[in-house]
């Protein structure tokens, strides 16, 4: 199927879906422009001057006019706003209330802090936001940051032609993104700061001017400050809690630069749906058993444990393998000793350890399911 519409696919009076952004061409007379209609590349630029348009939000529009129909290299498709579409993120579960909050924050250009247990889908959620709303996704692992300059450049040692040591600054993905954003003002960039609280606090302090109204960041190569363009949005992800080693506290001033959102694991039915799509070879009742036991671990008041969706996904990988598929029910406990208990300290058969405590919950849940 073609990924580009032809001019014959577009009729005056028809209603189509698009997503607008601010028009960088000030003299055009239209405040908003788009490049796609119904998910495909439009043959001409799509223009609208309706003040009700919300940039970045999918909308239904009515085709009013096709300018310079005979030219392939000129002209425009002029439309009027019909209504905005409901905020949707395909391929990932988002709590309906969280989805509404996300829509408000994204439309207003706020920096977002996603706070939740490991493996609950923070990275997948952010990547999906970028894809569905037309942002360039830039992933950055803050756990590798030691000092402030590491956000934009790292110092590398190499040998020159004579074999003498030479040091060079190598740009990070964040710096390349900011430079691209200055050059391509019509594009939108979403910088995902993963494991934000795993870098030392003094290093994070260097980001604070980038996250407030100052919108500047020190450029270690040029030894000057770099403006953060308006087409760049920051989303950070953190795991907070005593069970996470190697993390640093986030003070009130840093938190105040973000709009915080609490995210958690999907409901049982949604996780079953997700795993069923990934592992169609497994019967639904087997996947339900895996997820329900995981839910028992996550919600146990004695444990207060985090068990990621990666753990349930791994258990499904085991159970669908030919070595286990003929004895899935009997193998369930053995698989969970590895996929579930193995994510905690200690041994599954030692109740005094975290892994042993998790096993007690797993065993109890499996026995209860067998009796049901």
For the ranges 10-19, 247-256, 260-269, 289-298, the lowest mean pLDDT is seen at 247-256
CA distances from 306 to 71, 119, 126 (A): 59, 8, 20
Closest CA to 192 of 253, 248, 128: 128
pLDDT at 244 over 70: no
364 pLDDT band, cuts 50/70/90, is very high
Q: What pLDDT is recorded for position 350?
A: 96
152-180 average pLDDT score: 83
What pLDDT, in 10s, does the model give residues 183-229?
998 888 999 999 998 888 888 888 888 888 889 988 888 888 999 99
Tokens 């009013």 sit on residue: 64
Q: What pLDDT is recorded for position 71?
A: 74
* 239-243 contacts at long range (C-beta below 8 A, 24 or more positions apart): 239/116, 239/117, 239/118, 239/195, 239/197, 239/306, 240/115, 240/197, 241/117, 241/306, 243/305, 243/306
Q: Distance (Å, rounded) from C-alpha 298 to C-alpha 294?
A: 6
CATH match of 7-84 with 1.10.150.20: no
Mean pLDDT over the full length of the chain: 87
Q: What pLDDT is recorded for position 1?
A: 41
Q: What pLDDT is recorded for position 246?
A: 47
CA distances from 147 to 200, 214, 245, 248 (A): 8, 21, 19, 14
256-270 average pLDDT score: 91
Taking the whole predicted model, whether its pTM rises above 0.75 is answered as no
Class of domain 96-262: alpha beta
Give percent of the chain above pLDDT 70.
94
69 pLDDT band, cuts 50/70/90, is confident
């Amino acid at each position: 199927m073609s990924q580009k519409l032809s001019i014959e696919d577009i009729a005056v009076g028809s209603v189509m879906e698009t997503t607008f952004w601010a028009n960088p061409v000030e003299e055009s007379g239209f405040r908003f422009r788009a490049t796609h209609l119904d998910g495909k590349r439009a043959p001409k630029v799509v223009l609208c001057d309706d003040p009700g348009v919300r940039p970045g939000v999918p909308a239904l529009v009515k085709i009013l006019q096709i300018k310079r129909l005979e030219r392939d290299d000129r002209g425009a498709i002029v439309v009027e706003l019909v209504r905005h579409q409901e905020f949707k993120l395909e391929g990932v579960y988002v709590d309906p209330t969280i989805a509404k909050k996300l829509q408000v924050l994204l439309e207003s250009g706020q920096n977002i802090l996603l706070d939740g247990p490991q493996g609950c889908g923070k990275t997948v959620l952010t990547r999906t936001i970028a894809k569905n709303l037309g942002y360039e996704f830039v992933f950055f692992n803050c756990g590798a940051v030691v000092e402030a300059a590491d956000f934009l450049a790292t110092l590398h040692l190499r040998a020159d032609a004579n074999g003498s040591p030479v040091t060079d600054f190598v740009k990070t993905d964040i710096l390349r993104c900011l430079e691209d954003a200055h050059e391509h003002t019509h594009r939108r960039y979403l910088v995902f700061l993963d494991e934000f609280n795993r870098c030392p606090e003094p290093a994070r302090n260097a980001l604070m001017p980038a996250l407030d109204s100052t919108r500047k960041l020190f450029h270690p190569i040029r030894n000057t400050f770099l403006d953060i363009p308006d087409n760049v949005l920051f989303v950070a992800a953190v795991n907070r809690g005593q069970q996470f080693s190697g993390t640093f506290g986030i003070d009130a001033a840093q938190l105040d630069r973000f709009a915080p959102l609490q995210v958690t694991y999907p409901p049982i039915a949604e996780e079953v749906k997700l795993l069923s799509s990934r592992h169609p070879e497994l019967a639904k009742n087997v996947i339900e058993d895996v997820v329900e036991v995981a839910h028992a671990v996550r919600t146990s008041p004695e444990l207060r444990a985090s068990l990621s969706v990666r753990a349930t996904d791994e258990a499904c990988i085991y159970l669908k393998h030919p070595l286990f598929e003929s004895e899935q029910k009997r193998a369930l406990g053995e698989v969970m000793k590895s996929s579930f208990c193995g994510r905690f300290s200690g041994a599954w058969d030692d109740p005094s350890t975290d892994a042993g405590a998790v096993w007690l919950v797993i065993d109890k849940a499996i026995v209860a399911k067998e009796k049901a």
